[in-house]
């Protein structure tokens, strides 16, 4: 609890170590010169896949860059993000086209039609090139259930996406073939979850 005493030796070693670290880092950064729109995937069973994507969306909005969001699976819970996005007015295009989680609807043909409609909208938004990021929220779920052919998505992204547009794709179970063409893939792993101890989903945290 007390302040750490001054320790000149530790401090000197630390300064030396950090100086080296900075030199290595600066050198690495100098080699990174390519600017291009990335294909980014957030997958895994843990929390934070969509939330981190929304964080990126807000970061872009902070810079004044327009952003589009296509929700492939409409969660009954995600209202906070929508309210927050609406603050940014015309900078944001929100497209909620999913029909609710599939275990809510129990109607496969309706889900397939909704997925197709969402994907056509996504293609128009990406091709249009007016948005810095196009977020395809929960697209992986739709691919997982074979509501859309993954090869069609890959073909489109690798041939028709304008170079400078970033596409962010979320959802667990990202198909391997999609991971193959992505630039940045993060897996969110659940280490501990409060549901296990009976805590319910809470406003402003889960939704």
Applying the rule CB under 8 A, the residues between 123 and 162 that interact with a second copy are 132-133, 146, 149, 152
Q: Does 36 bind a second copy (CB under 8 A)?
A: yes
Cβ pair 41, 182 in contact under 8 A = yes
Where does this chain touch a second copy (CB under 8 A) — which range of 73-81, 120-128, 136-144?
A: 73-81
Where does this chain touch a second copy (CB under 8 A) — which range of 68-76, 120-128, 134-142, 180-188?
A: 180-188
Q: Does 9 bind a second copy (CB under 8 A)?
A: no
Size of the site for a second copy (CB under 8 A): 95
Cβ pair 44, 174 in contact under 8 A = no
Contacts of 47 (CB under 8 A, 6+ apart): 188, 190, 193
Q: Does 105 bind a second copy (CB under 8 A)?
A: yes
Q: Does 94 bind a second copy (CB under 8 A)?
A: no
Q: Does 194 bind a second copy (CB under 8 A)?
A: yes
For a second copy, which is the closer residue by CB, 14 or 128?
Answer: 14
Q: How far apart, in whole angstroms, are the C-alpha atoms of residue 119 and residue 105?
A: 19
Q: Does 202 bind a second copy (CB under 8 A)?
A: yes
**Min CB(76)–a second copy separation in Å:** 11
Q: Does 203 bind a second copy (CB under 8 A)?
A: yes
Q: Does 48 bind a second copy (CB under 8 A)?
A: yes
Q: How far apart, in whole angstroms, are the C-alpha atoms of residue 127 and residue 24?
A: 39
Q: Does 197 bind a second copy (CB under 8 A)?
A: yes
Q: How far apart, in whole angstroms, are the C-alpha atoms of residue 12 and residue 153?
A: 54
- The one among 130, 160, 173, 193 contacting a second copy by CB under 8 A: 193
CB-based burial label for 112 (10 Å; 0-12, 13-18, 19+): middle
Q: How far apart, in whole angstroms, are the C-alpha atoms of residue 27 and residue 1?
A: 39
Nearest to 167 by CA among 49, 38, 69, 36: 38
């Amino acid at each position: 609890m007390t302040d750490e005493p001054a320790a000149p030796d530790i401090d000197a070693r630390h300064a030396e170590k950090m100086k080296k670290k900075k030199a290595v880092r600066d050198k690495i950064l100098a080699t990174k010169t390519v600017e291009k729109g990335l294909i980014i995937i957030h997958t895994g069973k843990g929390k934070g896949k969509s939330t981190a994507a929304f964080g990126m969306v807000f970061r872009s909005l902070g810079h004044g860059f327009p952003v589009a969001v296509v929700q492939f699976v409409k969660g009954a819970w995600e209202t906070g993000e929508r309210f927050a996005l609406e603050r940014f007015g015309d900078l944001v295009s929100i497209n909620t086209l999913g029909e609710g989680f599939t275990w809510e609807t129990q109607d496969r043909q309706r889900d397939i039609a909704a997925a197709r409609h969402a994907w056509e909208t996504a293609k128009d938004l990406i091709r249009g090139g007016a948005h810095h990021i196009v977020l395809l929220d929960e697209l992986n779920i739709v691919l997982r259930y074979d509501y859309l052919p993954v090869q069609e998505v890959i073909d489109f992204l690798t041939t028709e996406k304008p170079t400078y547009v970033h596409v962010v794709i979320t959802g667990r179970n990202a198909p391997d073939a999609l991971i193959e063409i992505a630039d940045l893939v993060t897996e969110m792993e659940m280490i501990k979850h409060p549901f296990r101890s009976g805590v319910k989903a809470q406003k402003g945290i889960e939704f």
